[in-house]
Amino acid sequence: MTTLDLFADLDQGDLAEKAESLRRDLERYSYAYYVLDNPIVPDSEYDRLFAELKDLETQHPELVTPSSPTQRVGGAPLPQFGKVRHKLPMLSLMNGFSAPEIQAFDRRVATELGVDEIEYDVELKFDGLAVNLRYENGELVGAATRGDGSIGEDITANVRTIGAIPLRLASQNPPRVLEVRGEVLMFKQDFLDLNDRQREKGLKEFANPRNAAAGSLRQLDPMVTASRRLRFFAYGIGEADGAPVHETQSQLLDWFITLGVPVCSNRSAVKGFKGLMAFYDDILSRRDTLSYEIDGVVYKVNRFDQQQQLGFVSHAPRFALAHKFPAQEMLTEVLAIDVQVGRTGAITPVARLKPVFVGGVTVTNATLHNEDEIRRKDIRIGDTVIVRRAADVIPEVVCSVLEKRPIDATVFVMPTACPVCGSPIVRPEDEAVARCSGGWINCPAQKKRGLELFASRKAMNIEGLGEQLIDQLVDKAVIKDAADLFTLDVPTVAALDRMAEKSAANLVAECQKAKATTLARFLYALGIRHVGETTARTLADHFGSLKALIEASEEQLLQVEDIGETVATSIKAFFADEHCLALVNRLVANGVHWPENETEAKVRVLSGKRFVLTGTLPTMTREEASNIILSHGGKVSGSVSKKTDYVLAGTEAGSKLEKAQTLGITILNEAEFLAMVKTKQPTESENNY
């Protein structure tokens, strides 16, 4: 079934909710992966959801938001490290998973370049941490993580401890500036040795070499990094001043070797689709014998002039593709099927599996989505099942192995009462998802998940208020709802497990700081069903005040752009609920505030104007510029058309600029754009809303 088929039966409200759900999951997974170095899903699950969101947004461009994972690269830096703005963005790669996709990529590249056959530089896709090394006059002066692609973390002190990275380039006449980009990783044997030492010391073991490398590289104490054996392979170049001009990627990597910079020997130059697949098949056959973990191979058009001609999309080069390895499957046993309760009361069955190592990750749980899915696949407790870790659904219970089914295999029965609060579980006739009817007032599980959303970065942005702390606050009856967060005191918080006076004081300070917010953030934080970030912003811009929104009729809500009957009904139901309205009033009474009506003045500046962004802007990211446009009533589109009013263009602008010029659309540079909106460069809080 195609993605189009999956979305065909969804109305606009359901589509918006689906897109918002995907964005929330991807943001959470990206934060855990890039910022915390503690992935909570395999890479392939992220790839699947990313592809699903991208397909959905392609089919419905009105659902695209500036903060969507499809519009950016990665996560934000930790506050413990200094921030480094990359001179040139560190982009991610588009992915391919099958031979037809690779053939389509090769055909597109050849067609756009107008040649019969393309030469590619083919390399490995390492499973480590991307870094940028900055050399000035041959000396290593800085190192930074990729971060969000525009801003990374300063890890210079730690990188200097890595023996594989030269502190000085092996050249008598080095470039004035040279940025080398590559991957820091840990070899398999070094990883095993590290875990042996961790085990001997009674310390936590690392899950895989990637986690070990990332965790080692981002230690606050460089001595810890120095005690662990990290490696480095270069694969690209950033800013360069005084470097020799190379015609191909292969020549660049050869030059790196002469400078003493490590480059992986498993690379080659090949021609056409057949050459790509031959390299892929060879590496796949040797994957388990390599000294390090990889999760695919990378294809790059070899000639730099052709790369420049092909250009970029918003988050990735059009001249390169990562070819991910196929699914890896193993057999294991279903020990039990439990249910989890989500923020909106959704009851999700989860298979508890006998631990199985699949594709570098130990899998113990796998979602079964809903009761219908369990019936369709006929998954029973006690079954031997195929578990797949792949790009499509990971970890996924593919099916039961019927010939291995024991006589006492038990059919799963959906409980009739919530396992957390005991409220009845109900399933509307038009939904596949069953829900706890207790609501957040009666169900601690819903309350906890709602508080997680409330405190999240895109909502109230209460740093340090994570899942474990929320569990304690609710379980110990320290708070009964979100409003109580703003009355917390240091002694109360310090009395909780694993909390000290300093960390308690930090949390209380974060809660107080969060009181000053925006109406859009506040509405999103409330967790109104079907109201995601974009809808919350639209409502805030349209009504200008909370009072006006609460008093709006359903007919008035339907007059708001992109608000359908499902969303309008949900909003009215939320504010009609006495408990929800009481929570809103208590939040305001406890000091949560925002500049009401401010949006009305902003809307007049760019109201109804449609912008397209292209290229690299001098002082801000495209996400920052997009947020300025949206906050002043404008719209941001991913493609140029006759409906486009302005194109905001930076350096290295590509085909979008050319099309805009052909259509006679007004082109703006950054200075002209800022003069139009008469605003300063946005602060961090302005960027988010």
| CATH at 348 | 2.40.50.140
| Co-location of 347 and 380 in the same domain | yes
368 and 315 co-located in one domain: no
Mean pLDDT confidence for 393-411 = 84
Q: What is the mean pLDDT of residues 410-429?
A: 91
pLDDT band at 334 (very low <50, low <70, confident <90, very high): very high
Place of tokens 């965790």: 215
* Structure-block tokens of residue 405: 């089914």
Distance (Å, whole) CA 506 – CA 562: 39
* DSSP character at residue 95: E
State the CATH number of the domain containing residue 166: 3.30.470.30
CA-only gyration radius of the chain, Å: 26
Mean pLDDT of 381-410: 80
Within 10 A of 173 (CB to CB), how many other CB atoms are there?
9
Angstrom distance (rounded) from CA 482 to CA 465 = 12
User: DSSP state, 404?
Assistant: G
| Averaged pLDDT for residues 45-51 | 78
In this predicted structure, the answer to whether residue 497 has a pLDDT above a threshold of 70 is yes
- Note whether 211 and 346 are same-domain residues: no
Q: Which residue has the higher pLDDT, 8 or 24?
A: 24
pLDDT tens, 114-124?
999 999 999 99
Of residues 534 and 154, more confidence is placed in 154
Q: Same domain, yes or no, for 52 and 112?
A: no
In a domain, 23, yes or no: yes
Average pLDDT on 549-558 reads 90
Confidence of residue 246 (pLDDT cuts 50, 70, 90): very high
Q: What does the pLDDT read at residue 30?
A: 59
Q: What pLDDT sits at residue 344?
A: 86
Answer yes or no: are the C-beta atoms of 210 and 128 closer than 8 Å. yes
Residue pair 577/25 in contact by the 8 Å Cβ criterion:
no
For residues 592 and 609, membership in a common domain is answered with no
Query: Do 660 and 590 sit in the same domain of this protein?
Result: no
Q: Is residue 371 part of a domain?
A: yes
Mean pLDDT of 651-657: 75
pLDDT for 32:
61
According to DSSP, the β-strands at 177-185 and 231-241 are antiparallel
Do 199 and 246 lie in one domain? The reply is yes
Say how far apart CA 422 and CA 413 lie, in whole Å.
16
Q: How far is residue 461's CA from residue 220's CA, in Å, rounded to a whole number?
A: 24
Whether residue 125 lies in the annotated active site: yes
> CATH number of the domain that 541 lies in?
1.10.150.20
Express each pLDDT in 575-621 by its tens digit. Answer: 999 999 999 999 999 999 998 664 443 445 777 788 888 888 888 87
d(CA 670, CA 639): 19
The number of C-alpha atoms within 13 Å of 259 and in the hemisphere containing its C-beta is 28
Q: What confidence score (pLDDT) does residue 77 get?
A: 47
Per-residue pLDDT band for 2 (boundaries 50, 70, 90) equals: very low
Contact partners, residue 135, CB within 8 Å, separation at least 6:
141, 169, 174, 175, 177, 178, 179, 180
Determine the pLDDT at residue 1: 38
Do 552 and 559 meet the contact criterion of CB atoms below 8 Å apart?
A: no
441 alpha carbon, distance to own chain's centre: 31
Residue 49 lies in a domain: yes
In a domain, 528, yes or no: yes
Flag the least confident range among 315-324, 360-369, 521-530, 564-573.
360-369
Q: Note the residue count of the chain.
A: 689
Which tokens belong to 163?
């023996």
Q: Which residue has the tokens 């391919």?
A: 96
* 575: CB partners within 8 A, 6+ apart: 549, 550, 581, 584
pLDDT at 623: 75
Residue 506: closest CA among 37, 79, 36, 76: 79
Q: How many CB atoms lie within 10 A of CB 643?
A: 9
Residues 626 and 666 both lie in one domain: yes
Angstrom distances, CA of residue 595 to CA of 82, 313, 539, 545, 682: 31, 36, 15, 9, 16
Banded pLDDT at 688 (limits 50, 70, 90): very low
Q: How confident is the model at residue 42 (pLDDT cuts 50, 70, 90)?
A: low
Beta strands in 208-257 (DSSP E): 231-241
pLDDT at 272 over 90: yes
What is the average per-residue pLDDT within 406-415? 94
Domain range holding 542? 519-596
Phi/psi at 669 (5° precision): -95, 175
Surface-to-core class of residue 578, CB atoms within 10 Å of its CB (0-12 exposed, 13-18 middle, 19+ buried)? exposed
- SS3 string, 53-80, reads HHHHHHHCHHHCCCCCHHHCCCCCCCCC
The pLDDT-based confidence of 36 (bands split at 50, 70, 90) is very low
Residues 156 and 218 in one domain: yes
Choosing from 18, 54, 125, 447, which is the catalytic residue? Answer: 125
- Among 35-44, 282-291, 546-555, name the one with the lowest average pLDDT: 35-44
Q: What integer is the mean pLDDT of 480-496? A: 94
Q: Over 60: is that where the pLDDT of 213 sits?
A: yes
Residues 6 or more apart whose Cβ sits within 8 Å of residue 684 = none
CA distance 495 to 184: 40
Write the Ramachandran bin of 448: left for phi over 0, alpha for psi from -120 to 50, otherwise beta.
alpha
Per-residue confidence at 498, pLDDT binned at 50, 70, 90? confident
463 within domain boundaries: no
Pairing state between β 83-85 and 151-153: antiparallel
- Consecutive H or E run containing 34: none
Distance CA 547, CA 543 (A): 9
Q: Which of 596, 623, 646 is the last residue of a domain?
A: 596
Last residue of a domain, one of 362, 389, 411: 411
d(CA 612, CA 390): 35
SS3 636: strand
Report percent pLDDT > 70 for the chain: 89
Please tell me whether residues 564 and 625 are part of one structural domain. Answer: no
For the beta carbon of residue 180, count every other beta carbon within 10 angstroms: 27
Q: Determine the average pLDDT of the residues in 391-402.
A: 70
For residue 302, tell me if it sits in a domain. yes
Residue 549 tokens read as 């929104």
Same domain, 111 and 212: yes
Q: What is the pLDDT of residue 529?
A: 87
**CATH number for position 622:** 3.40.50.10190
What lies within 8 Å, CB to CB, of 33 at 6+ separation is 39, 43, 46, 75
Q: Let me know if residue 464 belongs to a domain.
A: no
pLDDT at 684 over 50: no
Q: Which of 266, 298, 324 is the last residue before a domain boundary?
A: 324
**Rounded to whole angstroms, how far apart are CA atoms 425 and 242?**
68
Amino acid residing at 602:
K
Q: Where are the alpha helices (DSSP H) in 395-486?
A: 439-442, 444-455, 467-475
CA atoms within 13 A on the CB side of 504: 16
Rounded distance, CA 216 to CA 224, Å?
Answer: 7
pLDDT at 683: 38
Residues 309 and 346 in one domain: no
- Is pLDDT larger for residue 20 or for residue 276? 276
Does residue 128 sit within a domain?
yes
Q: What is the average per-residue pLDDT within 528-546? A: 87
The mean pLDDT of 409-421, rounded to a whole number, is: 94
Q: pLDDT, tens digit, for every residue of 352-394?
A: 999 988 766 788 998 888 888 899 889 999 999 988 764 434 5
Averaged pLDDT for residues 631-650: 81
DSSP-derived secondary structure for 127-171: SSEEEEEEEETTEEEEEEE-TTSSEEEB-HHHHTT-TTS-SB-S-
- C-alpha of 331 from chain center: 30
Residue 72 has pLDDT above 70, yes or no: no
User: Which of 139-153, 168-182, 337-351, 674-688 is least confident?
Assistant: 674-688
pLDDT for 136 equals 93
Domain count, the chain: 5
Determine the average pLDDT of the residues in 275-279.
Answer: 95
